[in-house]
Structure 1
Amino acid sequence: MSISHTSSEANFHLLLLVLLAVAASDVVVTASYSSIHELLRSNGLPAGLFPESVKSYKLDQKGRLEVQLDRPCLAKYENRVLFETVVSANLSFGQLKGLEGLSQEELFLWLPVKDIIVNDPSSGLILIDIGLAHKQLSLSLFEDPPVCRSQGSSLYTAGRKIIGFQDQR
C-alpha cells in the first residue's frame, strides 16, 4: 500500500515540476529580449513596427504577442497609422498575423491592418495586408520606431510639421 502512495506522490511531484518548467519557459520567452524592438528584429521583422512609447509587451509560448501602450496614438509611415492601447498578433519568423488594435488610413478611411509579413528581407519590401488590399512598402520606412502622438487636432499640425509640410496661405 505504501508503494502506491509513494508512486502517486512521485507522480504529483513530477506533474508539479512539469508545470513549473512550462511556467518558467514562458517567463524566459518574454524576459530574453530587452525591448519589443529587439524581439521584432530577432524574428526577422523591422524594429520600427511599434512606436518608441511601448509600455510593455508579453509573448506567450504559442507566439501570441500582446503590446501595451499608455494610450491610443497616431504615427506616420507612408500613411498615418493608429495604434490602440493594446495591439496583439501571432508572431512567427517574419510575420505578425491576425493583428488586432492597429489601423491604417487609406483615402480618408481607417482600415484594420490584418497581417504584416516580410517574406524575403533581402528584397527590401514589407507586405501590409489591410483586408481590401495588400500593400508592399519599403522596409526602410520601418527601420526606426516612430514617434507616436496622441489623437487630436494638434497632432495633425504637429505631424505635418514633422514631415516637412508648411501651411499655405
Structure 2
Amino acid sequence: MSFLTLFLLLLFPLTAISSIHDLLQSQGLPAGLFPESVKTYSLDQSGRLEVHLEQPCLAKFETRVYFDSVVRANLSFGGLKGLEGLSQEELFLWLPVKDIIVNDPSSGLILFDIGVAHKQLSLSLFEDPPVCKSQGMVLKKDGRNKNKMDFQVQR
C-alpha cells in the first residue's frame, strides 16, 4: 500500500466512508465503477478490496460488462489492479478486466487493461453507478465444476 493510500485511510477511516462509491472517489477513481447493487465491501490494511454484489449482473458503460457476485482488486490511489470477477465484452468475446487506472484525472480518461489490449474510455462514463441487471444471464457449472457464463441473446 502506498504512503498516500495509508494516509488517506487514516485521514478518512472506512467508518466515515459510507459507500464503495465514496471510497473510490477518495482514491482518485470515479464513483461509478461499481453498480448500485453493491451489498458490502471490505478493504484490508494491504489495500486488498473485496466488493460483494447482490448477485452476478450485467451493466453497460461503453460496452457491456459482467460483474461476478464478488469482485476483488488491489486498491491504490488512481487504480484497481489485479481485478478478479469483472469481464468486458469486446467483439462478442468476454475478456477479463485486469486493471483499471486513472493516471491523470485532468485528462478525462480512464484505462481498462483487458490483457490483450488497453482501452481508454471517457471518465464521464463512470460518474454514476450503473444499473446492473441479471436478466439474460445464466451461470452454469461446466464439467470441471467451474462457473461458466452463458448469455442468452438480448441486445
TM-score if structure 2 supplies the norm length? Answer: 0.80
Distance between the aligned counterparts of 1:66 and 1:32, measured in 2?
Answer: 18
- Tell me which residue corresponds to 1:57: 41
Richer in strand (by share)? 2
Structure 2 residue runs without a partner (length 5+): 1-8, 138-151
Structure number with larger C-alpha Rg: 1
- Tell me which residue corresponds to 1:130: 114
Deviations 1:50-100 (A, max 9, x none): 001100000001000000001100000000000000000000000000000
Distance 1:47 1:142, change over 3 A: same
TM-score if structure 1 supplies the norm length? Answer: 0.74
RMSD between superposed Cα atoms in Å = 2.1
Distance 1:29 1:156, change over 3 A: farther
Deviations 1:107-135 (A, max 9, x none): 00000000000000000000000000000
Distance between the aligned counterparts of 2:96 and 2:57, measured in 1?
Answer: 15
- Tell me which residue corresponds to 1:82: 66
Residue pairs, 1:6-155, within 5 angstroms: 29-152=13-136
Residue 31 of structure 1, CA deviation: 2.2
The size of the alignment, in residue pairs, is 133
> Which ranges of 4 or more aligned residues in structure 1 deviate by more than 6 Å?
none
Deviations 1:3-39 (A, max 9, x none): xxxxxxxxxxxxxxxxxxxxxx99x843231000000
1:72 counterpart letter in structure 2: P
1:100 counterpart letter in structure 2: E
Deviations 1:139-164 (A, max 9, x none): 000000000000417x975xx5xxxx
Richer in helix (by share)? 1
